[in-house]
Structure 1
């Protein structure tokens, strides 16, 4: 059993107007075998939480802690956090011209495991992972994400998830920009990962449509840099019907 524990997390970012606090005391615990969905309106701090956990240098943690199996990860570099068992699927995966998908995947796997995978079995594993998300294995020869459609980029994130197999997957709006077929394929990939039983998922989303395919154990409503309410899957259904308006009004009123 592993756990990712976030306690009283405060995060700032530099803007043209000066330092702005985005996260204002976030508490969250994710255990292996659990799927947590964080939902909320634009600008509520959901992506800031994801990038802060992963170690993005843009964000400054001013207070609080993030521990993985009891180890403080805030002092670790990005690659050290990855080796410890964290994975971030980005909302906007970047293009890396000149670096092939196959080289990227093998380099990442080598860095995570501390040794290179055997070429014979690795090629088979990559082809299988790509076929599972309906990607042509020939795409492994192309530059990373270059010329990929939005859906192809997101499906490639799932290929990475399957091959690297981290302890905890943080999925930042993985459903953004996906049509219904790509949404189903990506969701199936997340479900295969979580079905191992000893893996945890933190799924960040605006909408409930992906939760029709990925069933969360816990739902957290995120507004103005804080968790405003928590519940089970039924909370997502209520958000679908009512939206976030009452939470936003309460935050503005300082309730």
Structure 2
């Protein structure tokens, strides 16, 4: 589904990714761990097309397409979803309005009919209920006044509604208490653990992986993947840290 080959990227002239290669197949969940400054978030930003992150070398193929040739909205319509470490607030725009516009924009880009207001509300309420988010919160402005856990639940609802092929989740466990962590883990498993979908989890810690067991764990250090393994690698990192790998 996703193939990254020798990816080099920089921001403001500073090299961050320095020859990163990674392949993610359909039905797989991959976790990327590593020390601060290793390039984990940069990888997510580059894949999603965030401005000012310049690719200087390498290639990325997503579902048979040259991902780097697509604009950010085209990448989203193709099935890529980026979950933020710190979801932004959008005052004056309700969750329902935001999510309906986002979903129907993608449906139109794929040549599909937009959902009616009634059908969309049914979908949104079902996703909110499945993830333990009070449906009344869907009427509120996007993330305004939400706790950290509510923001992450709302983002999982967004992912469920959009139904991407590939979810890139950038430290989605950051700042969560145990109940919110379980809810987020349940959301990832329910929505994305499918034979035609895939997940790239970016995280510092093992704790999210207690609820979302990855097929592969990779260590990113110095701008490249320096080690890969199974779930047991995350436990080793939790015990021993990154010092030797980051050296």
Q: Same fold (TM over 0.5)?
A: yes
- Confirm or deny that 1:67 pairs with 2:67: no
CA distance in 2, matches of 1:225, 1:153: 29
Match of 2:144 in 1: 146
Structure 1: 5+ residue runs without aligned partners? 250-255
Partner of 2:177: 179
Computed over aligned residues only, the root mean square deviation of the Cα atoms, in angstroms, reads 0.9
What TM-score does the superposition give when structure 1 sets the normalisation length?
Answer: 0.93
Rounded Cα–Cα distance in structure 2 between residues aligned with 1:123 and 1:70: 33
* Counterpart pick for 1:220 among 218, 221, 244: 218
Which residue of the other structure, out of 68, 84, 94, is the alignment partner of 2:78? 84
Structure 2, unaligned stretches of length 5 or more? none
Measure the CA separation in 1 of the matches of 2:75 and 2:227.
28
CA-CA distance at 1:55 after TM superposition: 0.1
SS at match of 1:148: coil
User: What is the Cα deviation at residue 39 of structure 1?
Assistant: 0.3
1:106-255 pair list within 5 angstroms: 106-114=100-108, 115-249=113-247
- After TM superposition, the structure 1 stretch with the greater mean CA deviation from structure 2, 240-249 or 103-112, is 240-249
- Within 2, Cα distance between the matches of 1:130 and 1:108? 17
1:98 deviates by: 1.0
Aligned length: 243
1:119 to partner: Cα distance:
2.3
